[in-house]
Amino acid sequence: MERTEEQRPVQMQLEMARVTADAGQPAGNFEDLMTLTNNSERLIDSVNSNLDALNGALDRLEERTERVLLELRRIIDSEAQEHHEGCGDHNRSP
């Protein structure tokens, strides 16, 4: 069953608690050590997946910010040009 986005942090906290609890106990046998290793690997995979998602979101935010800044510069330049053109000849006396 696929985890939903809301369940992911809770599941991650549960796995982290399980790994942390297991880490305080000496490995009794090879099976315990393999369980601890597998839990740790799943936790690391989950963290890496979340970091990849965060990186993608930050990339999209950066791209959107760049587009907004370019549009603002275009608007400011356009208004400055209109203001400059409008301030010229109508104040001169003939």
What string of pLDDT tens digits covers the 94 residues of the chain? 445 666 666 776 776 666 666 566 666 788 888 888 899 999 999 999 999 999 999 999 999 999 999 999 999 999 988 877 766 555 554 4
Question: How far apart (Å, rounded) are the C-alpha atoms in residues 73 and 56?
Answer: 26
For the chain, the structural domain boundaries read 27-86
Torsion of CA 82, 85, 87, 88, to 10 degrees: 180
Q: What pTM was computed for the model?
A: 0.54
